Amino acid sequence: MAGTIWFDAAGDPDRPTILLIHGSMDRSAGLLRLSRRLGAAHHVVRVDRRGYGRSIEVGPPWTIEANVDDVERMVEALSAGVPGPIDVIGHSLGGNVALALAARRPDLVRSVVAYETPLSWLSWWPGDSAGAAAMSAASPAEAAEAFVRRLVGDEKWEQLPESTRARRRAEGAALVAELADLRRAAPWSPEVVEVPVLAMRGEHGHPHHHRGTEWLASRLDGCRVVVVAGAGHAGPHTHPAEVAAEVESFLSSLPDAASGVG
């Protein structure tokens, strides 16, 4: 595997650990504001997934399974070889990585928070989502640009420095590969996920994300649903205080709220 997965650990390592996993065409920096909100009571780890940010040299394969391999090794190293449990927050595609990790290593994961996780393998998932638009692009670089333009708008994209746009286009290979992987087959099975799950969505999120959140609640035993007022798909970025408050409330309600890697 070329390159090394980049991560940052902040806060008291003796406190319970929260791992933050970003979505497609994002990086750990996008979750920095949320990390700071959670850092007072937790040891918070942010990771740049393979193919993105400071982990851009890592890969292929850019698959959910490979991402789970990465975070599994990282968490085991952080805990000095003694598995968790930890709490994992996944935004967008990162939610699938978190749920797949929980399915594979229930000894390592205490709970999962999934914010608007795409369920692209399901037949009803729409063909006009940002991911679908990227998949129809002529090249990975164009796919990356199309995806970001869809998320932030043309005006904001054009205002970015050319060097930043070039870096984002370079992440297109990872984007196309992981989106294709997510459309091929389910990366995790609901019946295998036994840890507590909080499914979050934004009040102004797209209808398919609303439906996806309800799908999680109907398939995962005891899954709770929270709607973040005023937020859209980028809720962890735009509403970090509100998201953090809901996460803290969820974690404090768990039976072993004092446990965690540290």
| Two structure tokens written together for 109 | 């994961």
85 preceded by a cis bond (ω within 30 of 0): yes
Decide: 97 and 90 in contact? Cβ < 8 Å: yes
Transcribe 173-234 into DSSP letters.
Answer: HHHHHHHHHHHHS-SS-GGG--S-EEEEEETT--HHHHHHHHHHHHHSTT-EEEEETT--TT
Report phi then psi at 240, rounded to 5. Answer: -65, -35
Closest CA to 190 of 238, 245, 122, 143: 122
Residues 128-157 have pLDDT tens digits of: 777 777 777 889 999 999 989 888 889 999
Percentages helix, strand, coil for the chain (3-state, rounded to 5) are 45, 15, 40
The DSSP bridge partners found for residue 149 are: none
Q: What is the per-residue pLDDT for 2?
A: 59
Give the global pTM: 0.92
Decide: 53 and 27 in contact? Cβ < 8 Å: yes
Q: What is the pLDDT along the chain (262 residues), one digit of tens a residue?
A: 456 899 998 888 888 899 999 999 999 999 999 999 998 889 999 999 999 999 999 989 999 999 999 999 988 887 664 546 899 999 999 999 999 999 999 989 999 999 999 999 999 998 877 777 777 788 999 999 998 988 888 999 999 999 999 999 999 999 999 999 999 999 999 999 999 999 999 999 999 999 999 999 999 998 999 999 999 999 999 999 999 999 999 999 998 654 444 4
Q: What is the per-residue pLDDT for 132?
A: 74
Strands, sheet with 43-48, edge to edge from the N-terminal-most edge strand? 6-10, 43-48, 17-21, 86-91, 109-115, 197-202, 224-228
Q: How far apart are the first and last CA of the chain?
A: 28
Sign for the CA dihedral angle at 138, 141, 146, 147 comes to: positive
Tell how strand 43-48 and strand 6-10 pair up. antiparallel
Q: How many helices (H) and strands (E) does the chain have?
A: 11, 7
Decide: 133 and 120 in contact? Cβ < 8 Å: no
Q: What is the per-residue pLDDT for 81?
A: 47
